[in-house]
Amino acid sequence: MNPTDNITLTGLRANAHHGVLDHERRAGQVFVIDAVVYLDLSAAAASDDLDRTVHYGVLAEEIVAAVESDPVDLIETVAERVAGVVLAHQAVTATTVTIHKPSAPIAVPFEDVSVTITRAQSAPRNRTGFSV
């Protein structure tokens, strides 16, 4: 296994209503998501078989749907939710997720605020997806 293999999705955009303040919940705002998906890509590369990797188009849609659902107060909570979506894919061993909130209610000039988390499978899985 090559632990440095990854698929990276950068700049996914989702409109959602997360935040502590009432106006954030009412009006909503754009959140930007980056996800690095760690997995062994050697079998997919050797076989040219999509089933041996993660379909990044499907994953992108799943991530945006997760961000756009069920408003919460913290982007930390959103990041955990996205990590769970990524880790649900059989081939994935770990993920790093960044949630950007470029329109956060901050009183001073700023470019972006973000939270980044890294999560891994709790137990190694074999090719069938079962824990070993």
- The domains found in the chain, sorted by start residue, are 6-120 (3.30.1130.10)
Give Cα 17 distance to the centre of its chain: 17
91's CB contacts (< 8 A; 6+ apart) are 39, 40, 52, 53, 54
Looking at the predicted structure, is the pLDDT value of residue 128 above 60? no
Task: Report pLDDT for 126.
Answer: 52
What is the percentage of the chain residues whose pLDDT exceeds 90? 89
Q: 126 φ, ψ to 5°?
A: -85, -175
Q: pTM for this one?
A: 0.89
Average pLDDT rounded to a whole number, residues 81-104: 97
Percent of the chain with pLDDT over 70: 90
- Give Rg (Cα) of the chain: 16
- Comparing 129 with 37, the larger pLDDT belongs to 37
Selecting among 47, 83, 101, 111, the annotated active-site residue is 101
Structure-block tokens of residue 129: 């997806």
Half-sphere CA count of 102, side-chain side, radius 13 A:
10
Is 101 a known active-site residue? yes
